[in-house]
Amino acid sequence: MGEQGIIYSKLTLSNPVLPLQAKIECSVLVVTDTLHLCKPDHLAIQLDLKILENREVTLADGKKL
């Protein structure tokens, strides 16, 4: 694994199943060398996202969720 960096960015989220639903723009913390996006539950509720599958992830501190 390479050296990790931290980047702040703006991200626009939407639900591709509901294209007419309003998009949400939010500020995000990006950590390089990551593979997955972790989003807060309140954003998933606002976008009416459905769970397709659950995956175990390992955080930078080694904690598994």
The CA distance from 15 to 61, in Å, is 30
DSSP letter for each residue of 11-63 = EEE--TTSTTSPPEEEEEEEETT-------HHHHHHHT---------B-TTS-
Q: What is the pLDDT of residues 21-34, one digit of tens each?
A: 999 999 988 877 77
Q: What is the pLDDT of residues 4-62, one digit of tens each?
A: 677 889 999 999 999 999 999 999 888 777 777 778 889 999 999 998 888 888 877 88
pTM over 0.75: no
